[in-house]
Amino acid sequence: AGTAQDQTYSLTYNAAGQIITRSISNTGANYVWTPGVAGTKAYTVDGLNQLTTAAGATITYGDNRGNLTNDGARSFVYDLENRMTTAPGAPGVTLGYDPVGRLDTIVGAITTRLVYSGSDLIEETDAANNTQRRYIPGPGTDEPITWYEGATTSDRRFLLSDERGSVVALT
């Protein structure tokens, strides 16, 4: 009841009900998004429910608040509110927050400002406040369903979510 373009996701869980592996069939299908490597990626967690390895990379939590401080390739810094403020490296990124704690500025090679309607992200602008992207919110917080690239409605993309609610593909 499918086509040659169908994909199948297989998940395995540990005793705590956490997803520890995800296998994808037919990664050569004609989709905009494909995983970096076909097959299975293994993840391990510790007694604090923290990832310790992800697809072969060692994950560390080096501060006393349990924050991820290194993902095997990059280091991360947090403020006193446990909000990530920097992700050094190439091209280092600095994150800024508005008075209610929402991410509102991303400064790296370019500057991006985020605009909200209530708790929903609705727009991204550049440093000169030119619209770069607009979002149509879905039924819940942080569940956008449509993304318009640029200031017009001619470049529309739909966001597709996986079993965890994470956006994993665009149409």
Secondary structure of 38-91 as H, E, C letters: CEEEEEEECCCCCEEEECCEECECCCCCCCCCECCCCECEECCCCCEEEECCCC
Mean of pLDDT over the chain: 85
Name which of 95, 99, 92 is nearest 116 in CA terms.
99
Length of the chain: 171
Please give the backbone phi and psi of residue 132, each rounded to the nearest 5 degrees, phi first.
Answer: -105, -40
pLDDT bucket at 132, cuts 50 / 70 / 90:
very high
pTM to 2 decimal places: 0.65
Q: What is the mean pLDDT of residues 24-37?
A: 59
Question: What pLDDT score was predicted for residue 60?
Answer: 92
pLDDT of residue 156: 94
Three-state secondary-structure class, residue 103: strand
